Structure 1
Amino acid sequence: MNFNFQEFIKEYKQRLADVFSTEEEKHEDSLVRGIKPATFNQIMELAPLGAFIPSKYDGFGGHTSEALSMLEASSYESLPLSLMMGINGALFLQPVANYGSEEAKTGIYDRVMHDRRMGGLMITEPDYGSDALKMQTSFTKVDGKYKIEGLKHWAGLTGMADYWLMTARGKDKNGNLTRDISFFIHDTRNGGIEVQEYYNNLGLYMLPYGKNKINIQVDESHKLEPSSTGITMMLDLLHRSRLQFPGMGMGFLRRMLDEAIDHCKERFVGGQSLFNYDQVKSRLSELQAYFTVCSAMCNFTGSTVPLERNTSKMDLEANSIKSVVTDFMQRASQSLLQLTGAKGYRLDHIAGRSVVDSRPFQIFEGSNDILYQQISESVMKMMRRVKSSNLYDFLSEFDLTIKSSDYFKDALNFEIDTKMPQRKLVDLGKALGRIISMEFTINLGEQGFNKELVDNAVKTLQDEVNSIMCLFKHGGEASVVEDYQIESSWFNLQTVHAE
């Protein structure tokens, strides 16, 4: 197709600005769940999901940087909309591109591009959230079709998606579930998915979530074919998605920064603009740092993770990017709320709405606490492989930290304890994630990005890492008192005076 992405993105930004200026600024739909059909059609008329689809199938080309740019444009106006696009792209369209049959791709992409259809992913189960490898949804092959049964929940676009990428485990000859995981493409026109309950999700009102009973049949042509194992395919899918989180974060952080600057310049307290107060400048400088680091992450993903690259072994990059950028998103929304004050503490204000909508990003697709632990474990595994025990010595020669580690010679110059407690693994992972993010940021500066913004971001990351490492080395000793009710009433310690 004859396509110019720059023309598309310009028109898409204007369309979203028009749509959300009428719906959000007038606060008509801030508490309404779902998305109006008219609004959905206005947005999807421009086929934004084409950014994830190869040109062979009438898409825009499937270029990662263009997909990130579309997500950025979406999240500037609406974080839930950007998540909707991200679910469709990273968790459905891209896996189909890499692992789907030609028959499946042709039919799906045609409907997505021309009929405004959507797809989602079902992995999570009520009893097996973070422990996805123990999912109980199973499949058996009967008469050339795969029969899949189980229970799934917290799938974004529940009851709304036209296609589902469904995960399940096979059975051995004894009827026991096998270890590996398979992926199947289900067309909802074939029925078999019953929404048992819609959840009253705290935020992200645009996206329906719920509990789904699965009893479907899928043709052989609609089973994804991994290059090695299904688990490796799932890692590729999840890592690729996490690597693209900065696309959703980018527009959101820019919006938080714009809103904060505008408010602080217009708001006067004590006879002067909020913008002139030192503590306000501290918050604004942090917002600018988050914006810059996220830009660096987008630059990394856009330039090093093309659609065809297998990301199954990019756990360190993916986990660092996802956890750090989502922490920054939540902090940015909290700062905007603090700056706007009482009027921001409303669900129909951009600040209050953003605090609630950005919070689950730290939880879904890998809880940040778990990802930080995995970052530490990944680094320690690599250190063992090269027989290195000093953290700084290793990081100073590691390609993801070779420049940034120089900023932390003293903080990182110690021998790693391979048996450190979990809370220490999490703390160390937080620091490592930010050191890796600093490397991306330094690289961004070397490519010509605004030097003042890069210098500011590096200083902010330095402060964060030094603070985290101080806690890592000297804190974290508190334990849980199980029988805390014993001798723990403050009122019993009061001196009671008889009248």
Structure 2
Amino acid sequence: MQLVENKQGVEGGLKTEFEQLLKNLKAKMKSVYHERTNANQLAINRGMPPFVMREIMSVNPFSAIIPKEHGGLGGDVKESIALMGAASYESLALSLTFGINMALFLQPVIKAAQPAAKREVLARFVGQQNMGGLMITEPAFGSDALNMQTAYTMANDMARIKGTKHWAGLTGWADFWLLTARKDAGDKRLERDLDFFVCDVTQPRQGIEVEEFFENLGLYQIPYGRNKIDVEVPITHKLEPESTGVKFMLDLLHRSRMSFPGMAIGFVKRMMDEAIAHCQQRFVGGKSLLAYDQVQQRISQLQAYYTTISAFCLQSSKSAGLHEDLSMIGIEANAVKSLSTDMMQAASQSLLQLVGAKGYRLNHIAGRSTVDSRPFQIFEGSNDMLYSQIAEGVIKQMRKLKQTNVLEFINGFSLTANSGKLVDDLLNFNLNFSIPQRKLVQFGQIFSRAISLDRVTELGNAGFSSQLIDGAIVNLRHEMKQLISAFTASNESKVIEDYRAKSDWWSFA
């Protein structure tokens, strides 16, 4: 009994401290984005004015997830999701900056860094508001990360790391980098497993040369580029995961993907609020846009996205904590990331359509949001690839259970057990396991929505608005019907590489 009371007291204290931090963060964002400058103008310029990050970092947002023994509040994934949600309502670039620091750098460091390195890094995050990022992707190895060629050798308790990394968010900004590399095994061979090192660019022989800054399309406030790695990092700064480096990377990436709803929730809420406000104020044919049925359909869809992503946030806050091993939850993590980011892009497209011509400007939130949200469907795994992996994972499970009926599998699968009764008229069919990749992608999209229905049901059981829950269920079922229609239709079209023969319309005019 005493232990329960102590735990509740600690959690209550954290909640109060975090709510104050969140309040301070929102006040700072209001100041920098609405009072001291114009958010729309800020977003079309590359980089971020120093005062913006200085003001925002002055509330020490990352301290929320740093353990108390290192000067933080002692929070976890729940707090990081809430921080990203608050930030993405004002700036998707700021929210992504938060996500890079927390999900891709701090959480793996907290989980697996050696004690001395952990103390040093976390002390500087708390005391000096430092930032950190993660470098995995290489020019020739994007999604094929396990074949990365960045290598290291050991000498005198130092790791000499050499290679090239690109598309790392915060290129040239971060004080720390989590570098991934494979050990040089000699004879031009690299070991199969990979390792993680904390590189401190402020130290001698640890500086990282930016060979090129990319002119990235959207997210202008975050720098990306190509980085030349030739550093020497103390062996004390090598992470020590409990298992293999590959398994640790999966745990890291899956936790990050489970955090994507944090970036999505505030963004979609902003799209929804902007759409409602615009349509209330805009009159066409003597009545407001809200009086038109097609407009009602679009905004109700935005509300369905908001509800679905809210369900993801709740589930991630309960199941994606640092003490959990997430290396084996690929189906769920891929579904959460892919569907959240698809909904982000669809929400921005709807707002742009509703606003019309004036939204087709980079310094208008509709146009800017459409461009800024698009890369979320690509980085940390292209959604097409992730949907395909979801389908492959489901088929593997079905083969193991010797089940071919999709509805039977859904009713017995932990991620979809609550959604079976909602889709019994849609998914009661047998699945052919030998299907082309394009069908795998479509089936992954369908199954992701079955998972979403389960999560939305749980959110409703927790007391969330029943009207919003009903709307989300209707929307998810509607999307599933469309996807099932495409999935069951025959389509074996192939690329005609030499298409030019008899293909110029002018010659037939």
User: Taking structure 2 as the reference length, what is the TM-score of the superposition?
Assistant: 0.95
Distance 1:168 1:227 in 2: 18
Any unmatched runs of 5+ in structure 1?
495-499
> What's the Cα RMSD here?
1.3
Secondary structure at 2:154 match in 1: strand
What's 2:159 paired with? Answer: 146
What's 1:482 paired with? Answer: 497
- What is the Cα deviation at residue 26 of structure 1? 6.6
1:125-140 aligned at under 5 Å gives the runs: 125-140=138-153
Distance 1:26 1:56 in 2: 37
- Tell me whether 1:274 sits opposite 2:296 in the alignment: no
Q: Is the 8 A contact 1:330 1:355 kept in 2?
A: yes
Amino acid at match of 1:448: G
1:406-421 aligned at under 5 Å gives the runs: 406-421=421-436
What's 1:366 paired with? Answer: 381
Q: Is the 8 A contact 1:23 1:29 kept in 2?
A: no
- Tell me whether 1:338 sits opposite 2:353 in the alignment: yes
Q: Is the 8 A contact 1:424 1:476 kept in 2?
A: no
- Tell me whether 1:14 sits opposite 2:24 in the alignment: no
- Tell me whether 1:460 sits opposite 2:475 in the alignment: yes
What's 1:116 paired with? Answer: 129
Q: Residue 237 of structure 2 is aligned with which of 201, 204, 222?
A: 222
Runs of 4+ in 1 over 4 A off after TM superposition: none
1:50-81 deviations in Å (ceiling 9; x for gaps)? 12212221112132211111111100000000
Q: Cα–Cα, structure 1 residues 475 and 342, in superposed 2: closer, same or farther, change >3 Å?
A: farther
1:369-420 deviations in Å (ceiling 9; x for gaps)? 0000000011111111212121111111111111212222243222222210
Q: Is the 8 A contact 1:243 1:321 kept in 2?
A: yes
Q: Is the 8 A contact 2:179 2:197 kept in 1?
A: yes
Q: Percent identity?
A: 49
Secondary structure at 1:484 match in 2: coil
1:46-85 aligned at under 5 Å gives the runs: 46-85=59-98
Distance 2:48 2:398 in 1: 49
1:247-296 deviations in Å (ceiling 9; x for gaps)? 01010011000000000000001110001100000000000000000000
Secondary structure at 2:179 match in 1: strand
- What is the Cα deviation at residue 140 of structure 1? 0.6
What's 2:262 paired with? Answer: 247
Amino acid at match of 1:378: G
Any unmatched runs of 5+ in structure 2?
1-9
- What is the Cα deviation at residue 475 of structure 1? 4.1
Q: Is the 8 A contact 2:172 2:223 kept in 1?
A: yes
Distance 2:421 2:40 in 1: 49
- Tell me whether 1:232 sits opposite 2:247 in the alignment: yes
Q: Is the 8 A contact 2:40 2:365 kept in 1?
A: no
Secondary structure at 1:155 match in 2: coil
What's 2:449 paired with? Answer: 434
Distance 1:399 1:18 in 2: 45
- Tell me whether 1:196 sits opposite 2:211 in the alignment: yes
- What is the Cα deviation at residue 317 of structure 1? 1.0
- What is the Cα deviation at residue 25 of structure 1? 3.8
User: Taking structure 1 as the reference length, what is the TM-score of the superposition?
Assistant: 0.97
1:207-249 deviations in Å (ceiling 9; x for gaps)? 1000000000111110011211100000000000000000010
1:234-383 aligned at under 5 Å gives the runs: 234-383=249-398
Distance 2:202 2:20 in 1: 34
- What is the Cα deviation at residue 309 of structure 1? 0.8
